[in-house]
């Protein structure tokens, strides 16, 4: 969140610029916190939608251009930084962009908040009690942010893991964000990210849960508020395409097309119920790995994950597993089933 000085109490949602999430504008801080609390209670997406700043993305470019014009007209910029991994990733992305703008770093101040702005606790706090420290954007802050962003956009996750051995104290809540982002790499046992596993695990534990119940359950299972509705919908769509689950329209009692199911309106999806297929149950049980069932091709930050470059993260050992060291490095793949998604266009 940006507090734009010069306009009394006005705030600007940085998340709106980075991810397109609707947010109230030009409100005083108490009103902003109240509105944000209502949005979160209403189930707004918390996902890290802009994993990469795509220069070719017209919306992202226009949003940043508009933000640049606004900020250059301000005498002082105050940034309130939520402590959650999701918001820390957005902060790193924004600080990396800030270094490309003449004269903005010098007039920017960071407030490192101890609670999620707009969350359940923050409404009991006055604005000046929300953060533990205030600092200018120092050389250490810039260096830490650039190193983190360059690591996340690197062609392998190795530099990102390397951040764990570095001094990240300039951004005090970044270290946990590094760990949480690594959990979105494929796991060593099933080849699923934390979010993907949460989706399948919930489907296996309920009898034909609704679309809304899946979104709510996966969101509630991630107390760090890192990934959200968008990522859940992406994985549901891909599991449908792979035949790992199927969706039944509750009103019509008919199975929707596996690939086209997510072309339906959101209101229609909310009435859909899901169930796992035999292959999906085998994946949940640990008898199969995702690479048994799919030709994989998607992105984690700047790392392209496919069947030949399938980096994995061992959460129990806190260890990155290179593709050649993977559990199934030479697995034979059946053609025709492709897992392919990304939040930004890649060439």
CATH of residue 262's domain is 1.10.10
What confidence score (pLDDT) does residue 153 get?
86
Whether residue 204 is found in the same domain as residue 330: yes
What confidence score (pLDDT) does residue 341 get?
34
What confidence score (pLDDT) does residue 254 get?
53
Whether residue 98 is found in the same domain as residue 118: yes
Whether residue 204 is found in the same domain as residue 292: yes
**CA distance linking residue 316 with residue 89, whole number of Å:** 23
Whether residue 15 is found in the same domain as residue 134: yes
For residue 69, tell me if it sits in a domain. yes
Whether residue 176 is found in the same domain as residue 27: yes
Below-70 pLDDT ranges, the chain: 1-61, 63, 116-132, 225, 227-228, 249-271, 324-347
| pTM exceeding the 0.85 threshold for the entire prediction | no
Whether residue 30 is found in the same domain as residue 79: yes
For residue 344, tell me if it sits in a domain. no
How many domains does one find in the chain? 2
Residue ranges making up the domain that contains 230: 194-339
For residue 347, tell me if it sits in a domain. no
What confidence score (pLDDT) does residue 61 get?
66
Last residue of a domain, one of 129, 153, 182: 182
Last residue of a domain, one of 147, 182, 217: 182
What confidence score (pLDDT) does residue 20 get?
35
For residue 189, tell me if it sits in a domain. no
What confidence score (pLDDT) does residue 249 get?
64
């Amino acid at each position: 969140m940006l507090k734009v000085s010069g306009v009394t109490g006005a705030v600007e949602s940085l998340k709106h610029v980075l991810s397109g999430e609707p947010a109230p504008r030009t409100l005083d801080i108490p009103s902003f916190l109240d509105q944000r609390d209502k949005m979160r209670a209403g189930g707004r997406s918390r996902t890290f939608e802009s994993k990469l700043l795509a220069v070719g993305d017209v919306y992202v470019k226009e949003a940043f251009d508009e933000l640049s014009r606004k900020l250059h007209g301000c005498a002082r910029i105050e940034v309130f930084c939520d402590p959650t991994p999701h918001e820390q990733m957005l902060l790193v992305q924004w600080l990396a962009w800030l270094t490309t703008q003449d004269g903005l770093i010098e007039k920017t101040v960071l407030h490192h908040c101890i609670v999620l702005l707009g969350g359940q606790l923050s409404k009991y706090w006055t604005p000046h009690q929300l953060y533990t420290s205030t600092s200018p954007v120092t050389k250490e802050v810039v260096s830490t942010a650039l190193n983190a962003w360059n690591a996340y956009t690197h062609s392998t996750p190795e530099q990102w893991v390397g951040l764990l051995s570095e001094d990240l104290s300039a951004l005090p809540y970044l270290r946990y964000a590094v760990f949480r982002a690594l959990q979105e790499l494929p796991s060593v046992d099933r080849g699923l990210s934390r979010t993907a596993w949460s989706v399948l695990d919930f489907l296996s534990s309920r009898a034909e849960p609704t679309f809304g119940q899946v979104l709510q359950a996966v969101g509630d299972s991630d107390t760090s508020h890192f990934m959200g509705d968008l990522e859940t919908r992406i994985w549901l769509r891909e599991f449908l395409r792979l035949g790992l689950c199927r969706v039944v329209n509750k009103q019509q009692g008919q199975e929707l097309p596996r690939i086209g199911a997510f072309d339906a309106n959101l209101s229609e999806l909310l009435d859909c119920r899901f169930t796992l297929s035999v292959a999906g149950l085998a994946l949940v049980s640990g008898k199969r790995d995702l690479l048994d069932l799919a030709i994989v091709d998607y992105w984690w930050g700047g790392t392209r994950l496919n069947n030949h470059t399938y980096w994995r993260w061992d959460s129990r050992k806190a260890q990155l597993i290179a593709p050649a060291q993977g559990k199934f490095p030479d697995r034979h793949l059946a053609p025709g089933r492709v897992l392919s998604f990304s939040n930004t266009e890649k060439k």
